[in-house]
Amino acid sequence: MKQNDNAFSIYVLENENNRIELSDLGATLVSWKTKKSDGSWQEIVLGYDDLDSYRTQDGYLGACLGRVANRIEKGQFTLNDTVYTLPINNGPNCLHGGIDGFSYKRFDVKQDESSIAFHYVSKDQEEGFPGNLDVWFTYSLKKNTLTIHYEALSDADTLVNLSNHSYFNLDGSDSIQDHRLLVKASKFMEVDADGLVKGEYRDLPTDMDFQQEMPISQALSSSIEQIEVAKGIDHPYLFNDSHDPIVLRSPLSHLVLTMNTSYPLA
């Protein structure tokens, strides 16, 4: 464990094939180095050069998000007949919990040999949300699997939608265009120019359909409206298979990232 000038700390989980670095600032995944078949190490997540940038920049690289990941339209919601107003920090909307969301908070930390638990208490009306909310983000490393467990407990009705905001690059090249992606989904939801989800689930257009493994460039180089509106792929996909629903592969490094979720299929 080491500290920077602002006393934020780095905690490490590691085994013979993986080294995970995490910060108590935002319960952030700062680094994930994994061993390739030739014995060399490859960094696979994007990060800033120093911890202070995580505190001052708005890229949310590797951070855990809350109280509500993604956007709340016009920074308002109604719960139990009460209207709550939140900070506006993304166009006309509230993004990732507001101006001072979980990604900028210092978490308490408890570590054992194979896991690190980050805990934070979000007070009633923090960033406009009701209820005192206890949250835990627990990272566990076992062999080649990193698991993030999310837990929240509130003393009042509130909104909670926790997530992690890591960006992956499996070979360290300047572009992920050649990465190959598999997503077990045939439907998605469109977004508008402000990033808000709209309408109902629709069939995926060909350039956004990754039911068969394809280069990401299939979508990123497309000129279809939804790609241009979202400036890439920033859409909800509706999984139709709960086993390994997302697989990302680099032909250059030969590394493969498989993502799973315990959330049930819709």
In terms of domains, do 16 and 140 share one?
yes
Nearest CA among 97, 99, 114, 184 for reference residue 149: 114
Q: Are 164 and 46 in contact (CB under 8 A)?
A: no
Q: Is the pLDDT of residue 6 over 90?
A: no
Bond from prior residue into 67 cis (ω within 30 degrees of 0): yes
In terms of domains, do 11 and 100 share one?
yes
Classify residue 175: in a domain, yes or no: no
Q: CB-based contacts of 182: which residues, under 8 Å, 6+ apart? A: 210, 211, 212, 213, 214, 246, 247, 248, 249
In terms of domains, do 133 and 190 share one?
no
In terms of domains, do 22 and 150 share one?
yes
> How far apart are the C-alpha atoms of 41 and 33, rounded to whole Å?
6
Q: Please provide the average confidence, as pLDDT, over all residues in the chain.
A: 95
For residue 206, the enclosing domain spans 180-259
User: For the segment 155-213, what is each residue's pLDDT rounded down to a tens digit?
Assistant: 999 999 999 999 999 999 999 999 999 999 999 999 999 999 998 899 999 999 999 99
Give strand pairing partners of 259: 246
pTM of the model: 0.95
Nearest CA among 44, 231, 237, 14 for reference residue 143: 14
In terms of domains, do 156 and 251 share one?
no
Classify residue 266: in a domain, yes or no: no
Position 4 scores a pLDDT of 47
Position 199 scores a pLDDT of 85
Q: Are 201 and 188 in contact (CB under 8 A)?
A: yes
Classify residue 265: in a domain, yes or no: no
Domain count, the chain: 2
Residue 86: CB atoms within 10 A of its CB come to 23
In terms of domains, do 27 and 124 share one?
yes
Nearest CA among 15, 33, 27, 23 for reference residue 169: 33
User: For the segment 35-46, what is each residue's pLDDT rounded down to a tens digit?
Assistant: 999 999 999 999
CB burial readout 67-84, b (16+ within 10 A) else e: bbbbbbeebebeeeeeeb
Cα dist. 215→90, 169, 173, 178, 188 in Å? 30, 13, 15, 5, 19
Collapse the DSSP code of 127 into the 3-class scheme (helix H, G, I; strand E, B; otherwise coil) and give the result. helix
User: For the segment 19-68, what is each residue's pLDDT rounded down to a tens digit?
Assistant: 999 999 999 999 999 999 999 999 999 999 988 899 999 999 999 999 99
Q: Are 182 and 210 in contact (CB under 8 A)?
A: yes
Domain boundary among 133, 164, 195: 164
Domain boundary among 164, 199, 228: 164
Classify residue 169: in a domain, yes or no: no
In terms of domains, do 101 and 231 share one?
no
Domain boundary among 94, 129, 164: 164
CA–chain centroid gap for 65, Å, is 7
In terms of domains, do 194 and 63 share one?
no
